[in-house]
Amino acid sequence: MTDPHEAGAPTGCTGLARLTDLAPDDFARTWGREPRHVRADALPAGGALLGIDDVDALLSRRGMRAPFVRVAKEGRTLADADFTRGGGVGAGVRDQVDDTALLRLFADGHTIVLQGLHRTHPPVLALAQELAADLGHPVQANAYVTPAANRGFAAHYDVHDVFVLQTEGTKRWSLHAPVHEHPLRDQPWQDRRSQVEQAAATEPYLDVTLEPGDVLYVPRGWLHSATALGGVSVHLTIGVHVWHRHHLAEAVLDGTRRALAEQPELRTSLPPGVDVSDPTHLAEHLTAVRAALHAAVDALDDAAVAALLAPKQRAAQRPAPVAPVATAAALADGLADHEVVPREHLRASLEPTGAGVDLVSRAGRLPLTTAEADGVATWLTGSGAPLDPALAHRLVVGGVAVLAPRGAA
């Protein structure tokens, strides 16, 4: 009915082009394998993403709360209570960032970490969404603000790929080859602390100083540490939470487990007197289980695996923002001055049901008739006849569509 993977996704995304001087096919050969440093003059000029004034505004005038802010020094992360306090009259919160406490800590050499900037700072949100659309992998962004001649974190590795974008000041980075290649999310560097410390004491694979506008690509697993040089350093860490074959293996196992649960012969009880700690008691039964497992894996087609992964993909990336108040006001005035267009980065798909068709996206499920679904299928691709006003209203309220001034869509 429609391509379930790209509906509502923007075209001509430029996220990757802002972070590397390589063409997409050339970057794919570097992807996940080795670090790459790109000087600012090799990249297209872009708008300011995050400067010191932006940092101060976020910390002192936006009501930021933990855990959107962390504070660390030489690898030690402070408790939230060390830099938060109550929000005061009219704000019943206890974990609002205390800018006075942050001033003292920063002057004492602590690094301030702004977490989740892809949710709180529009320029970073736009870049994160563009990059996620380019790569097909979920993206998030943090910022690290470090005083001169200080280091926030000791050598470590991340369990996601990283693009480091220097926005203010300079910072020296030291990278070492992995002690554990391609780590999964449940394989943090702390589990291999001694190996990391030993490797970090050797000659680095790459020792480089980032200046404003420079980008450093660090694949997951690569050890890294950084020290601010002269003046305050601000850099964005754009984390790519990659899909990998282990995700596919988990989906195959999940699908296989569900299929086996439907087989009566695998639900039967083991005989009286069985000792499940004795392999000789299990041999006959395990032979049958292994045969059933192999058959179930072979019977699980690619489409079934993709269907198991689709909800995780929808949940992994934030869609484009909507304007609740302005949109509701425009709907109340009618749609004469607006066009209804698909919401970007939503990844909506049409799924048949017994009663009709559901439009499925991160915004939820929206039931449609078969006739409505045919019109929505072409609308998702940017073509087709105008939608029925009642259906258009439902799509907007359902979070699948947004309003654009007529003639600007």
Q: Is the pLDDT of residue 13 over 70?
A: no
> Is 258 found in the same domain as 166?
no
Res 1: pLDDT: 32
Please indicate, yes or no, if residue 10 is contained in any of the structural domains: no
> Is 212 found in the same domain as 100?
yes
Give 230 or 185, the one with higher predicted confidence.
185
Which of 348, 378, 384 is CA-nearest to residue 366? 348
pLDDT, tens digit (0-9, with 9 covering 90-100), for 334-349: 887 889 999 998 889 9
Please indicate, yes or no, if residue 8 is contained in any of the structural domains: no
> Is 154 found in the same domain as 137?
yes
Please indicate, yes or no, if residue 9 is contained in any of the structural domains: no
Res 310: pLDDT: 92
Give 406 or 239, the one with higher predicted confidence.
239
DSSP 333-353: T-STTEEEEEPTT---EEEE-
Res 409: pLDDT: 53
For residues 223 and 207, what is the distance between their CA atoms, to the nearest angstrom? Answer: 12
Final residue before a domain boundary, out of 292, 314, 336: 314
Burial 366-395 (b: 16+ CB within 10 A, else e): bebeeebbbbbbebbeeeeeebeeebbbbb
Distances in Å between the Cα of 234 and the Cα atoms of 117, 168, 316 are 13, 5, 27
Half-sphere exposure of 140 (CA within 13 A, CB side): 11
For residues 335 and 405, what is the distance between their CA atoms, to the nearest angstrom? Answer: 10
Q: Is the pLDDT of residue 2 over 70?
A: no
**Per-residue DSSP letter, 379:** H
For residues 298 and 296, what is the distance between their CA atoms, to the nearest angstrom? Answer: 5
pLDDT, tens digit (0-9, with 9 covering 90-100), for 293-317: 999 999 999 999 999 999 999 888 8
Res 148: pLDDT: 86
Per-residue pLDDT band for 33 (boundaries 50, 70, 90) equals very high
> Is 295 found in the same domain as 262?
yes
Q: What is the mean pLDDT of residues 105-113?
A: 94
pLDDT, tens digit (0-9, with 9 covering 90-100), for 231-276: 899 999 999 999 999 999 999 999 999 999 999 999 999 999 999 9
> Is 161 found in the same domain as 121?
yes
pLDDT, tens digit (0-9, with 9 covering 90-100), for 378-405: 999 888 778 899 999 999 999 999 999 8
Which of 141, 142, 85, 139 is CA-nearest to residue 113? 142
Specify the number of domains making up the chain.
3
Res 98: pLDDT: 94
Q: Is the pLDDT of residue 87 over 90?
A: no
**Rounded-to-10 torsion of CA 207, 213, 218, 224:** 40
Res 152: pLDDT: 72
Please indicate, yes or no, if residue 1 is contained in any of the structural domains: no
pTM above 0.85, yes or no: yes
SS3 sequence, 175-189? EECCCCCCCCCCCCH
Domain of 168, in residue numbers: 16-240
Q: What is the mean pLDDT of residues 176-193?
A: 96
Please indicate, yes or no, if residue 118 is contained in any of the structural domains: yes
> Is 113 found in the same domain as 46?
yes
Final residue before a domain boundary, out of 314, 347, 369: 314
> Is 135 found in the same domain as 90?
yes
> Is 283 found in the same domain as 177?
no
SS3 221: coil
> Is 384 found in the same domain as 272?
no
Mean pLDDT (the chain) is 91
Final residue before a domain boundary, out of 314, 347, 366: 314
Res 408: pLDDT: 64
Q: What is the mean pLDDT of residues 109-120?
A: 94
For residues 179 and 160, what is the distance between their CA atoms, to the nearest angstrom? Answer: 15
Which of 151, 165, 59, 152 is CA-nearest to residue 114? 59
pLDDT, tens digit (0-9, with 9 covering 90-100), for 138-181: 999 999 999 988 777 889 999 999 999 999 999 999 999 999 99
> Is 50 found in the same domain as 174?
yes
Res 154: pLDDT: 86
